[in-house]
Amino acid sequence: MEKLAAVKGMNDIMPPESARWEWFEEKVRDLMGRYAYRNMRTPIIEPTALFVRGLGEVTDIVEKEMYSFDDRLNGEQLTLRPEATAGVVRAVVEHSMLYEGGKRLYYMGPMFRHERPQRGRYRQFHQVGAEALGFSGAEIDAELILLADNLWRSLGLKNVRLEINSLGQPNERKAHREALIAYFEHHVDLLDEDARRRLYSNPLRILDSKNITMKLIVESAPRLIDFLGEESRAHLSKVQNILDANNIVWTLNPRLVRGMDYYNLTVFEFITDQLGSQGTICGGGRYDYLIEQIGGKPAPAVGWALGVERVLELLKEQEQVIPAPAPDAYAVVQIAADLPRVMNILQQLRERGVCVQMHTPANSIDGMGSIKNQFKKADASGACYALIFGSDELLRQCVGVKSLRDSKAAQIEKPLEAIAEWASTLQSNC
């Protein structure tokens, strides 16, 4: 029969690779807890209107990257989430969560965008995101940046730089928009097809173009930062002061605009030069108008999202060693008839926290296989100890314990009726 393959741009995450993911997720959970950000989970499918309204109609995501479909049963227009902020906001509004004050939240999970698959760019990819809703002060923008920076350090990630910018407020953007249109009209010959199409609908988006032939014209375009009023400038410098006080190095990138329309004031990206053209590992900013746009009572908010695949790829690039999971002990079993009893003993060990892998032949009716072969498997499992359940040992109500890592250590015996007394000695990290 013809073999079926995964959808293009969507990856299976299998062992041993999945251990890196679990390690990473554990670090994230731990760190989010230290900043008192609480986990939330929203559906992977949302009404299409949520993204059209939330992200903006004239954005790469909404124009060409969404997996949208009609529900066959009731005709509802649905979309596989391309990002999670809109869903978080929808849920927070739906559950009136800002009623008793601001909320610090985080999520992790798969996102879907129909992009051209390449290194660091997939059609199903994963994000971790942190969102602080209901707070307007610059200190929370800075807290989120500090949190991300701390995450890089706890992962052992190096060579990540921080770029920041301010997108100001809508009225400031309006003045800039006019200047931008005038400027691009003047250079219309140099614009690519996308840019021409967006010239009047969303000229700011042109600054986010990935087309390198437009680099020059984009670089000399009017800068939004020059159109900012006093309040917007003060907000940005407050963020910068807090970063400085925390020795976080940043650069101001006046062309940083981000891919969604919902941002205002602070925007930022963490970028590396070690992943080729997919160098942005994390991006975020303030989105004070999104909650209202999605139908909630107006409230400020700020957040970021990181790309898990890119972060893990960068860790690999930097040859960061991530502990591979291994059992504490590997159970070598001489005869299959002893399995019921042996499995009961292993069960007791696991209840006491010991990680034990049992030797399992493809078909135990043919026997357990030679002890030599079992020891080979035990060694390959990475376990510290072999537990030897020979018929002799079992007759004497004992199990043999042999270190797999210290060849000089002699095999010893432990009494089965006193598991509680020695189980924990198997948990030494070797």
Residues at the site binding ligand ATP, with contacts judged by CB under 6 A: 83, 113, 115, 120-122, 125, 127, 259, 278, 280-283, 305-307, 309-310
Closest CB 209 distance from ligand ATP, rounded Å: 11
Distance in Å, CB of 82 to ligand ATP, minimum: 8
Roughly how many angstroms between the first and final C-alpha of the chain, as a whole number?
46
Q: Which is nearer to ligand ATP, 288 or 309 (CB)?
A: 309
Nearer to ligand ATP by Cβ, of 66 and 384: the residue is 66
Peptide bond into 327 cis (omega under 30): no
Residue 389 C-beta: closest distance to ligand ATP, Å: 47
CA torsion sign for 401, 402, 403, 408 is: positive
217 versus 256: smaller Cβ distance to ligand ATP: 256
Q: Is 127 or 264 the residue whose CB approaches ligand ATP more closely?
A: 127
Question: HSE of 7 in the Cβ direction (CA atoms, 13 Å)?
Answer: 11
- Both tokens of 202, joined, read 């969303």
Contact assessment for residue 171 and residue 264, using Cβ atoms and an 8 Å cutoff: no
Sheet holding 250-252, edge to edge: 38-39, 103-112, 124-133, 301-307, 280-286, 264-271, 161-166, 250-252
* CB nearer ligand ATP, residue 134 or residue 283: 283
Of 272, 286, 299, 289, nearest to 238 by C-alpha is 286
In whole angstroms, the minimum distance from the beta carbon of 65 to ligand ATP comes to 8
CB nearer to ligand ATP: pick between 263 and 385: 263
Closest contact distance (angstroms) between CB of 390 and ligand ATP is 52
Dihedral, CA of residue 257, residue 259, residue 260 and residue 262, to nearest 10: -20
Task: Report the nearest approach of ligand ATP to the CB of residue 251 (Å).
Answer: 17
The minimum distance between CB 306 and ligand ATP, in angstroms, equals 6
Tell me whether strands 264-271 and 161-166 are parallel, antiparallel or unpaired.
antiparallel
Closest CB to ligand ATP among residues 264, 334 = 264
We find the least distance from the C-beta atom of residue 5 to ligand ATP, in angstroms, to be 19
Nearest distance from C-beta of residue 119 to ligand ATP, angstroms: 10
The answer to whether 397 and 406 are in contact (CB under 8 A) is no
Our CB check for ligand ATP shows the closer of 260 and 401 to be 260
- 106 is written with which tokens? 């985080």
Q: Assess contact for 21 and 134: CB atoms under 8 A.
A: no
What is the dihedral angle through the alpha carbons of 43, 49, 52, 55, rounded to the nearest 10 degrees?
A: -40
Q: Check: CB of residue 424 under 8 Å from CB of residue 352.
A: yes
Nearer to ligand ATP, 10 or 45 (CB): 10
Phi, psi (rounded to 5 degrees) for 28: -65, -50
Instruction: Write phi, then psi, for 403 (nearest 5 degrees).
Output: -70, 135
In a 3-state reduction of DSSP, which class is residue 135? coil
* Owner of token pair 């303030």: 286
